[in-house]
Amino acid sequence: DGGITQSPKYLFRKEGQNVTLSCEQNLNHDAMYWYRQDPGQGLRLIYYSQIVNDFQKGDIAEGYSVSREKKESFPLTVTSAQKNPTAFYLCASSGRDRTSPYNEQFFGPGTRLTVL
Amino acid sequence: AQSVTQLDSHVSVSEGTPVLLRCNYSSSYSPSLFWYVQHPNKGLQLLLKYTSAATLVKGINGFEAEFKKSETSFHLTKPSAHMSDAAEYFCVVSGPYTGGFKTIFGAGTRLFVKA
């Protein structure tokens, strides 16, 4: 089955630690995204990548880092510089569609990060 | 500039009654519009999308939405609610932006369905 996987589902971090969230897709999509979701709020874009070896900051990139070494993978590192990292993190991808340049995004199941 | 406003943070309906979730958007160009659903602790699932074809869009699970350019609205409807429809719904607009395109998510509407 094609789709997006995120791991782990739950992650606990001590203050001052860096942690890396995994995101893998087998949809052959060029673009991938990371979002943060806080209770009762919509999604906020952290980073996105439209092609391998290239990525751009989103609206709330401070305290986060990413890499895009492979088309299938877009890991997110939450660094100790992120002051309030407890949240639900969602990874998404999108591909090309001849009917529209603004294509829907496909989402993974999410990772819930809790800082202890 | 683009923006999207979901007019209700919470909507409560009884099972078997119609559902209306309201969304207004702002865009300088013809955008693409989407509705997603999110069940607790899950990812988002696409319900339907509008991409400048038919203005009445049918989606999964009996949902549909109508694009009204004059009202800049893209409201989501369903004739008869099921208990399984209880979830968070997001209206999303995507369109051109400097150097590429931008996708903006609404704040979400939580749908409650009473037995």
Tell me the per-residue pLDDT of A64-83, one tens digit each, with 9 for 90 and over.
999 999 999 999 999 988 88
Check residue B20 and give its pLDDT.
98
Q: Stretch A97-113: mean pLDDT, rounded?
A: 79
* Of the listed ranges A8-22, A35-49, A91-105, B11-25, the one predicted with least confidence: A91-105
Picking from B9, B28, B44 by the largest number of A CB atoms within 10 A of its own CB, the best residue to mutate is B44
Percent of chain A with pLDDT over 90: 70
Mean of all residue pLDDT scores within chain A:
90
Cα(A66)–Cα(A62) distance, rounded to whole angstroms?
11
- At A97 the pLDDT is 59
The CA–CA distances, whole Å, from A72 to A1, A3, A14, B3, B55 equal 15, 11, 29, 30, 34
Does residue B28 carry a pLDDT above 80? no
Q: Please list every residue in chain A whose beta carbon sits closer than 8 Å to the beta carbon of residue B42.
A: 109-110
Side-chain-side CA neighbours of B104 within 13 Å: the count stands at 17
B34-52 per-position pLDDT tens digit: 999 999 889 999 999 998 7
Q: Among B32, B46, B53, select the one facing A102 at the smallest CB separation.
A: B32
Q: Is the pLDDT of residue B97 over 70?
A: no
Q: What is the pLDDT of residue B27?
A: 81
* Neighbouring C-beta atoms of residue B115, cutoff 10 Å: 6
The encoded tokens of residue A86 equal 């407890």
**Mean of the per-residue pLDDT values of chain B:** 91
- Give the mean model confidence (pLDDT) for residues A101-113: 87
What is the least distance, in Å, from the CA of B51 to any CA of chain A? 6
| Interatomic CA distance for residues A55 and A31, integer angstroms | 9
At residue A3, does pLDDT exceed 80? yes
A-proximal residues of B, 44-63, CB under 8 Å: 44-46, 49, 51-53
pLDDT value, residue A2: 67
Please give the Cα distance from A82 to A21 (Å, whole number). 14
Q: What percent of chain A has pLDDT over 70?
A: 92
Model confidence at A14: pLDDT above 70: yes
Please report the pLDDT score of residue B109 as a whole number. 96
Per-residue model confidence (pLDDT) at position A42: 84
Confidence of residue B4 (pLDDT cuts 50, 70, 90): very high
Residue B99 contacts A where some CB pair is shorter than 8 Å:
no
Quick one: pLDDT band at residue A90, thresholds 50, 70, 90?
Answer: very high
- Interface contact flag, B46 A90, Cβ < 8 Å: no
pLDDT of residue A1: 59
